[in-house]
Structure 1
Amino acid sequence: MSHTVAEPTTQQSPEPATGTGPGDSALLAAVPTVVLLGLLLMRCALIFVGDGAAYAVARALHLSPAWPTAVAASDLHVVAIDVITLLTLGLLLRRDGRSLRGVLGRFRAGEVPRGLLAFVIVLPAFVVATYLGNLAVYHGAPPATATGLATPSLPFALWTLTVMPVTVAFAEELLYRGTLQPAFAARIGRWPALVLVALGFGLQHAGLSALSVDAVVARVITTFLAGLVFGLLRRRFRTLWPLVIAHWLIDALFLGVPMVLAATGRM
């Protein structure tokens, strides 16, 4: 602390670097690889735990069909998982001398147009990924499946449009692209890390669509491919903000809007 000239350089340089591609090589360097792998699979495990808890509640309340009701409820408990994700990640980063804010990067006015640009890139990529996922499993469009669920209520639909996309975008981008991708890249290389993190990102979506094996496989393929695109974009922006914005818009468009349309009888 007595070196007043050198101190700002050694203390401040790591934080801004976490918002850039090449500067992230030392992120969580002291954390064992097995812990990083645990972080990679944490959300997948927590989502299934949440599904199981929701199923138990549905059975206790005699809600039918119980399992589809539990899977639908994942849109609620995933927000709690987002909070757990951010708290866990924040603690690990603090031990590493970093912070969530440092990984996220400073928000500037230019982040909005860059976020819209990322959205324009991700949108067609996500559509293609969805097509490929369905093609691999169903050899075409997925069949219409009757879940037996009632039309979603408007408050629930508005939750999936306004709250869930925001928390999911921050939690997933900070965890997968902001922290794990650069951390694994320093250990196994850029491209293996890109694929590994995209795989973990895809697997976490299994519990969000666990109505059938086919639905799970199609969703995992789709989100794995989308994760590759997000991972590639990660290195093109100095901060995570463009990815957070694009992720938020994708989830709002493909999850929230259909829910609102269904709740209002327009779908």
Structure 2
Amino acid sequence: MLVSESVGQFFLDSEGHRDRLEYTEYGSGDSWVVLLHGQLMPRRMQQPLARALAAEGLHVVTLDLLGHGRSDRPADPQAYSVTAFAEQVLALLDHLGAPQAVIGGTSLGANVSLEVAAIAPERVRGLIVEMPVLDNAVEAGIIAFAPLLLAARFAPISVTALRLATRWVPRRAVGFWPSIVLDTLDQRPAPMGAVVHGLFFGRVAPPARERRTITAPAIVVGHPADPIHPFADAQMLAGELPNATFVEAGSILEWRYRPERLDRIATNFALSCWRAPRRARRASRSTS
């Protein structure tokens, strides 16, 4: 089934700065779903799932968070935190006129989805959380991303050279997921360093005591043998969230190259969230 697709943008004003964020809409209607990308990746990584969801009648939006994809990329580390990203998602919902949405994401996007549910539970219809980065991922995260921060700060020419080299590769010639990898490598040193710095030294996700208060229905997808996104984190999160279902992926590649099963699970879940009666709006943040 073909679905409509359109690109949009909106602007955020804060402390004398005006930042532009870009998004893509798939489908139409009032059953909103927002999908968020992984760290340093573009929103286009969620295109296959967005199309699958929209084909079933959901109105899906993929967003480039600040510092990613085609959104603005300020070089100030203070511009980047999981909380700031969550506020960008809420600004997107306001811009679209969407009172609520199912919020979902991968890796960084998973953590941002949890943060949205923590700071604005009344806006969240449900959660699709793939590969959250929580307590068991600290060491792996440092190993994976510290070299990027060091390269951006002390060897910026290496980041620039890689960016220039990857830009010569035709995206259509290499296939979808290799092209996403190439787009992820298309970084500028200062903004990339700022993103990693901001996330390293800021709040990574809601702490356990806050996660336990998130009552939105959720599916949590974990991958075995994934060192950066430990299986134990996904299992732990599914146990903490009062209304969560744990889904075990066959591998980190299943949702990339054999997505039918997980697409079906995500679609059925999102549709069920919108078929359920709307929860009463809560005026303030949940506390424990």
Give TM-score, length-normalised by structure 1: 0.23
Q: Give the number of the structure whose residues are more often strand, by fraction.
A: 2
Task: Tell me which of the two structures has the higher relative contact order, counting C-alpha pairs closer than 8 angstroms and 6 or more residues apart.
Answer: 1
Give TM-score, length-normalised by structure 2: 0.22
Structure with greater Cα Rg: 1
Q: Give the number of the structure whose residues are more often helix, by fraction.
A: 1
